[in-house]
């Protein structure tokens, strides 16, 4: 197998050279301003999300995709959303690290504790490729459906105090209690959540769907019962009674398009007649919708904001929960439906046919898939079963002690362990990926009701195939001027590698700093002692992953290898480095590309793969 440098030399048509020596390993305390990450140990200084370095010293997307190490569980009975850290902590299967109100917590328009089918009653969730969560209030109270965005790794400093004001587990007991949440109060008693009433700074926005603008008049009393994320990162919201979908801007909450009717219209006479009950979008941009009936709905061209959006449907089996299988790169989609009379039903878009392949039949509502294509079923009798794509049983486990069979959700986590929600007992439980071993139970809010995407698995592995590597670099001094992020990569046709950065003088301050998209090797202006760089790998529609061989983060004053600071790396820079052989390098010297404190022939070898043009040409 060729080495990393040999592969790069081949791509650049350069003479074959020995492998460059390893760049200096950077620790959190080293305070180096310009650093190259290229070895496994160096990549491990950052955070790998859905990427790996199983082939040494390079990053690529996981073959078996995973979600984030966080679950977002809607608590229908108390109008909140819980954020759970799913990593195992001693005997505990995880812990609750945040809880957020989705409706007023006190005052004339608050509801207090209620059942799962009255009041605002949040239920559907979606998680985007950055880990941010969206939750949809159904609103059995006759109000418009309400959509909330909650930030996972950032916040909005609304009061300008420089710190994050959000819910926190102050007593470290693994549960967010009422006194540890930020209130949401209807200060003007108008029954509308105004932006100025949002106190939790992790909540980005709360909007009605549609948003009530002249182009998209309000709809009341229609129940928000479907929520999913598209290939363009925007949201689709389905209203049950009016049989309509709307497209929503994920950044702002503004309604972008709609209504798209799921009942027959002049524009879509073959739509059938079905009501949105849950949805997911495949990598072809096709929305698939459960209907709480015997119809599977389909909407095409969801990446468009102007349409047309062809609507069709397929009559078959009763359905409730919905999941999508990861296709084999041939473009067709497998849709799995949970329903009261079967473990799961499979719909194959290649033939537009339904089948029931499960070897064992259970009544089920919740259904999902994992990164290996297995089907996860939440049994109405209690417990969980995992099936292969062909329907064979992988394992079949009973409910854990203290839980019940009224489960409206099942989902894989960041290591493909399986989580189940329990509406009747207000708990969630965890099962081991490999054999279904019971791993424990956690309390949730009242009546957890989340059978949609709660970990980001679907958005990052089914709708698109993506993952990130991110690292925080210490510049050593406040106000450090950062100037470039560059990387070496092989990118398949239709794939991509992108990056963004944020900086601050404290690590805590990074969470409140805005992200700036950056171009490979291009100069930018960011200041702060710390910079966080995130590199994203996007596969093409066939599932082919980019390969990233190294990432360099450089200060503005010392872009590594760019000795003459002309914004390009070429033969002029290589000659300048070679001419300085044997010299001692000062900290941040762009000639010292391997950061060993001296200028050597190895610095030339490290810089060759970073040349701007083939053969290190000057122009």
- The string of pLDDT tens digits covering residues 167-192 is 999 999 999 999 999 999 999 999 99
Low-confidence ranges of the chain (pLDDT < 70): 1-33, 270-271, 326-330, 340-341, 557-559, 587-588
- What is the per-residue pLDDT for 362? 86
Whole-angstrom Cα distance, residue 13 to residue 19? Answer: 16
Q: What are phi and psi of 336, to 5 degrees?
A: -115, 135
Cα distances from 109 to residues 81, 192, 247, 500, 591, in angstroms, run: 19, 9, 28, 41, 65
| 334-339 sheet: strands from edge to edge | 322-325, 334-339, 342-348, 353-355
Element (H, E) at 337: strand 334-339
Q: What is the rounded average pLDDT for all residues in the chain?
A: 90
Buried residues in 189-214 as b, exposed as e (16+ CB within 10 A): eeebbeeebbbbbbbbbbbbbbbeee
- What is the per-residue pLDDT for 28? 37
Whole-angstrom Cα distance, residue 497 to residue 159? Answer: 36
How is residue 176 written in tokens?
A: 């967010």
Q: Beta partners for 552?
A: 36, 486
- What is the per-residue pLDDT for 15? 26
How is residue 586 written in tokens?
A: 């000062």
- What is the per-residue pLDDT for 332? 86
- What is the per-residue pLDDT for 558? 57
Are 277 and 320 in contact by the 8 Å Cβ rule? The answer is yes
Residue by residue, what is the 3-state secondary structure of 372-401?
Answer: CCCEEEEECCCCEEEECCCCCEEEEECCCC
Measured in residues, the chain has a length of 619
Q: Where in the chain do CATH 2.120.10.30 domains reside?
A: 70-455
User: What is the per-residue pLDDT across 79-97, written as a single tens digit (0 to 9) for each?
Assistant: 999 999 999 888 899 999 9
Q: Does domain 70-455 have CATH number 3.30.465.10?
A: no
């Amino acid at each position: 197998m060729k080495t990393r440098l040999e592969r790069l030399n081949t791509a650049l048509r350069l003479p074959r050279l020995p492998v460059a020596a390893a760049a200096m390993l950077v620790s959190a305390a080293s305070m180096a301003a310009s650093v190259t990450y290229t070895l496994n140990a160096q990549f491990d200084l950052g955070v790998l999300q859905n990427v790996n370095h199983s082939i040494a010293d390079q990053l690529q997307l996981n073959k078996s995709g995973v979600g984030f190490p966080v679950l977002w569980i809607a608590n229908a009975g108390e109008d909140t959303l819980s954020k759970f850290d799913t990593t195992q902590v001693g005997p505990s299967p995880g812990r609750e690290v945040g809880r957020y109100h989705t409706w007023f917590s006190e005052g004339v328009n608050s509801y207090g504790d209620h059942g799962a089918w009255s009041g605002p009653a949040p239920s559907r969730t979606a998680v985007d490729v950055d880990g941010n969560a969206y939750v949809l209030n159904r609103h059995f109270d006759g109000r418009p459906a309400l959509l909330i965005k909650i930030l996972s790794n950032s916040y909005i400093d609304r009061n300008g105090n420089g710190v994050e004001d959000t819910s926190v587990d102050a007593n470290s007991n693994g549960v967010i209690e009422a006194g540890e949440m930020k209130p949401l109060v209807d200060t003007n008693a108008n029954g509308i959540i105004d932006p100025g009433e949002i106190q939790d700074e992790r909540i980005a926005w709360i909007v009605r769907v549609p948003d009530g603008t002249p182009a998209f008049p309000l709809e009341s009393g229609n129940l928000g019962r479907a929520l999913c994320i598209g290939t363009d990162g925007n949201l689709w919201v389905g209203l049950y009674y009016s049989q309509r979908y709307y497209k929503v801007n994920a950044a702002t909450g503004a309604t972008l398009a709609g209504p798209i009717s799921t009942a027959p219209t002049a524009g879509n006479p073959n739509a059938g007649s079905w009501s949105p009950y849950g949805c997911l979008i495949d990598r072809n941009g096709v929305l698939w919708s459960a209907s709480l009936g015997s119809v599977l709905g389909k909407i095409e061209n969801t990446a468009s904001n102007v349409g047309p959006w062809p609507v069709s449907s397929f009559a078959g089996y009763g359905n409730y929960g919905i999941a999508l299988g990861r296709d084999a790169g041939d473009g067709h989609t497998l849709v799995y439906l949970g329903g009261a009379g079967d473990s799961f039903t499979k719909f194959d878009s290649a033939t537009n046919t339904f089948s029931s392949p499960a070897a064992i039949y259970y009544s089920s509502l919740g259904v999902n898939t994992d990164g290996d294509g297995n089907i996860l079923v939440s049994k109405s009798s209690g417990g969980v079963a995992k099936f292969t794509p062909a329907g064979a049983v992988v394992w079949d486990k009973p409910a854990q002690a203290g839980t019940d069979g009224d489960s409206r959700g099942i989902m894989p986590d960041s290591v493909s362990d399986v989580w189940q929600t329990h509406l009747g007992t207000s708990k969630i439980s965890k099962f081991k990926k490999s054999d279904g071993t019971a791993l424990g139970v956690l309390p949730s809010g009242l009546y957890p009701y989340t059978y949609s995407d709660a970990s980001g698995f679907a958005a990052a592995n089914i709708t698109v195939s993506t993952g990130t590597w991110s690292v925080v670099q210490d510049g050593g001094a406040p106000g450090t001027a950062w100037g470039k992020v560059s990387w070496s990569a092989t990118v398949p046709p239709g794939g991509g590698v992108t990056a963004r950065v944020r900086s601050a003088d404290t690590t805590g301050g990074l969470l409140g700093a805005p992200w700036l998209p950056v171009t490979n090797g291009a100069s930018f202006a960011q200041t702060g002692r710390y910079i966080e760089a995130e590199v994203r790998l996007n596969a093409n529609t066939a599932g082919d992953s980019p390969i990233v061989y190294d990432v360099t983060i450089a200060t503005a004053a010392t872009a590594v290898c760019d000795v003459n600071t002309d914004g390009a790396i070429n033969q002029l820079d290589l000659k300048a480095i070679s001419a300085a052989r044997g010299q001692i390098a000062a900290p941040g010297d762009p000639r010292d590309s391997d950061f060993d404190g001296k200028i050597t022939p190895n610095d030339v070898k490290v810089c060759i793969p970073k040349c701007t043009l083939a053969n290190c040409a000057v122009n």
